Amino acid sequence: MNPLRISIVGGSGYTGGEIMRLLLGHPNAQIAQVTSRRLKGLPVFRSHPNLRGHLDVNFSAPDEVEACDVLFLCMPHGKAAGEIDRWREIAPLIIDLSADFRLRSPERYQHWYNEAHPNPEALATAQYGLAEVNRANLAGASLISGVGCNATAMTLALKPLADAGLIGRAICDVKVGSSEAGADPSAGSHHPVRARTARTYSASGHRHLAEVEQNLGAELDVDATITAIDMVRGVLCTAHIETTERLETKQLWKLFRGAYNDEPFVRIVADRQGPHKFPDPRILVGSNHADVGFSIDERSGRVITFCAIDNLVKGAAGSAVQSMNIALGLPETTGLTFPGLHPA
């Protein structure tokens, strides 16, 4: 097949850079245009130095984007929804990495984001871009939403027990790296404030819970605490679950294998010993894998499940490329086979 012409709007940030890195290894992809108002006319390696010598493209302005086959939108939250009709005239497949199209219901969007959705009609046509929960609806889609990185880790940690109706109550302890805050520094992500920290910034009610409930069932009783730690890339979700019945380790193995044995990017990490017996986000740097695992508190019967991801790949750009592959009928793993780094 002819290479797919793929453009990226808002390509100066971390997710735009990761999409470019992944597409450079995709045999069916040709990067056509990458936009940045601030860096217009400059080479993309000015923002993404790892791409020097690999991609000979200069940033262009958003209003210069020409017709293409796939368009990735990497704009700030709230921008894509107001402009989506314009972008849909440019490409038959749009993948938006913001939160604008993640929730199916305009009412739920208003509840969680405290404002009315600017384009409910487009929202009704969007498909959620996490293949592990929505693969069947991605084939042939024309508008795909990105995923929340924290939501991805929580969803995959909880899914085997949630699908079996075994969760009575779950609390997710989520630890995140600084790249989750984006490329532009803020009062909370400025290096002198962010380094050497373990700082909880959302004690409860994080808006990514809306995606978890949508993915696993609105009746799910789940909350989360999100803590920034001294790590650049990665999310680690540790879910403490009160189950509806007491479970044994062999039952957990059956549940997790049943949920994930056929998933190309989900690995079960639940060894009895060793330094890597549970998921570790550092092992996943640059990878589209999600490592999941579990343990049981034998005293109380409480189940602890885990999920580790690279927030910029499986939690953003990797899931977006994976969704693109499915939508276009390409092998799902195309361009996404990098195994991660060790040590990192």
Instruction: Map tokens 């972008």 to a residue.
Output: 87
> What is the rounded average pLDDT for all residues in the chain?
95
**pLDDT given at position 81:** 94
> For the purposes of burial, counting CB atoms within 10 Å of the CB of 189, is it exposed (0-12), middle (13-18) or buried (19 or more)?
middle
pLDDT interval class at 250 (50, 70, 90) = very high
Q: How far apart are the first and last CA of the chain?
A: 36
pLDDT in tens, 238-248: 999 999 999 99
Q: Select which of 68, 74, 149, 172 is catalytic.
A: 149
Contact present, 10 and 73 (Cβ < 8 Å): yes
Start and end residues for every CATH 3.30.360.10 domain found in the chain? 149-311
* E strand or H helix at 235: strand 235-243
Start and end residues for every CATH 3.40.50.720 domain found in the chain? 4-125
pLDDT in tens, 48-69: 999 999 999 999 999 999 999 9
Percent above pLDDT 90 for the chain: 91
In this prediction, residues 328-341 reach a mean pLDDT of 97
**pLDDT given at position 183:** 81
Please indicate whether residue 149 is annotated as part of the active site. yes
Of 86, 72, 74, 71, the closest CA to residue 122 belongs to: 86
pLDDT interval class at 34 (50, 70, 90) = very high
CA distances from 68 to 89, 194, 207, 314 (A): 10, 39, 33, 25
* pTM for the model: 0.96
pLDDT interval class at 182 (50, 70, 90) = confident
The CA radius of gyration of the chain, in Å to the nearest whole number, is: 20
Of 236, 227, 239, the closest CA to residue 308 belongs to: 236
- Between 3.30.360.10, 2.40.30.10, 3.40.50.720, 3.40.50.2300, what CATH number should domain 149-311 receive? 3.30.360.10
Domain 4-125 fold: Rossmann fold (3.40.50)
| Per-residue tokens: 92 | 């038959």
> For the purposes of burial, counting CB atoms within 10 Å of the CB of 261, is it exposed (0-12), middle (13-18) or buried (19 or more)?
exposed
Of 129, 81, 156, the closest CA to residue 317 belongs to: 129
**pLDDT given at position 195:** 82
SS3 content of the chain, % helix, strand, coil (to 5): 35, 25, 45
**pLDDT given at position 218:** 85
| Per-residue tokens: 200 | 């909880």
> For the purposes of burial, counting CB atoms within 10 Å of the CB of 99, is it exposed (0-12), middle (13-18) or buried (19 or more)?
buried
